[in-house]
Structure 1
């Protein structure tokens, strides 16, 4: 049985030999060192293996698997982890030295099983949503929120997985990361957690994230097929979010306000998916998706776009094919 304060770090990686050592060393250099660091190589074809194996630390475990996506890599790391707590780090990001120590302290103080911290981008921005989730949370303080399903609608962004520390049992109970999703799997997990568990937020940027990519990620692609897959995941997550909100004991006014916000998001993603369908020549699906978007009553821009995609798509197709090429 693992100790109550034991921590396993899971680092999924794919063709990140140029930066994986920096990520691993940031996990090893913690003021409260982890018990193990699991580097899950998702089928890299570069020098990732040799770089990781050159790191002289008895707690670093390198595991190579067939390429299956980041969710599969994270889930394998969770399965192999022996710690009571799981913390995630991406191979192109780094932790600040007190990250694990402050999170363990926050979890102990609040009694929560889930804790997210702030993150800092290269330009100093805070793309973690904490200020929107709780504008009254002072800097450098932590606070726990009982099953905060209202978080789903409070911010366009949410705390990032690279800042997450979570009980292994809670993560397994939540179903882990959905391996069928090529995008928004972290959003899906965050939404699920808000419905079942208290969530602690630590309003301190303890993770430095980078936007520098050597291998293009899905979000960098304009290919119609990749965009369709990404948007399908976003639609699925927002549709599920409506169910989450309607099924929780919120004040009626807050429930209605939250559902309006999520409907607008869902309408937006449906209208963009309609664009891609038209670009790929599937005009029946394009019109159906646009009509679904209009039925949700999105913002004016989304409504206008959906109207054009329903009745005037023939004039839009050349531009949409340039925007979402199939090659």
Structure 2
């Protein structure tokens, strides 16, 4: 039986409900063996559970702890401590080359290093005929926690920090790049408790080199409920500081569009901003935050989203994130995910300048 889906493990209540249904219902619905005169005339039902461990208290994890069940937990990579293995020796040298973001050919150079030492870097796997050592290693470096959970069946990796590295440049160096799209993403803090006390602002751009740049990433101590104008005015300041911003994203859940309306009114009342045709995107956020943030893990860990090294508090919060259940704050990784996922889809209308061919002597 395949008895566990992703929604079944997201909350304590969902996990309890799934286990209770099995314990009170499914387990007793199976056909028992029929025995007559000491001879089995009809075999009973055999339950086989196949699935991925997704939580320390998920259905399969609980099942494995039962003395009445036999289980086999296969590892994809046949090495006990893959963290040590992939961070020492030749693999450590490979990793250093791979994460050298100042080198534009770091990915190609890392692959070349592997092929030059392939005989010494190969490792045993469950299915050598289907899997490739280099591909498996790259998957590990992109998202170690997910790799250990999915490939190694290691639920202890749940709760580990998601991001192993944040690529940075100085703000001055970032501004030397050519950008094709720029947007402001903002997420208001609306409570005074420790879980939600930052208003997050991110001015991000997509570069001509296909990398994404968080040119300014801030965690402002602004409670948008008590300092609503201050929260909006800070966005106005950023719009003026970065004249290439064409789009603003604001999550609609908190104020149901009131902040977007005020921002639009202030833009229209400003002689400089009202001529820029800034588009405001104000949408309800319905996707699970962990699901959304997980989409950027490979890009972050491969250095494809670059931050200004001066934005230390923002970067620190990203590096400390280990999932909503295990993290005090999620403002920085959440707004980063919004930027990374949205910047590719926005359309920028560029002005076309017409030339008089006669002035060119044609």
TM-score (norm 2): 0.25
Report the structure, 1 or 2, having the larger helix content: 1
Larger radius of gyration: 2
TM-score (structure 1 length as normaliser): 0.26
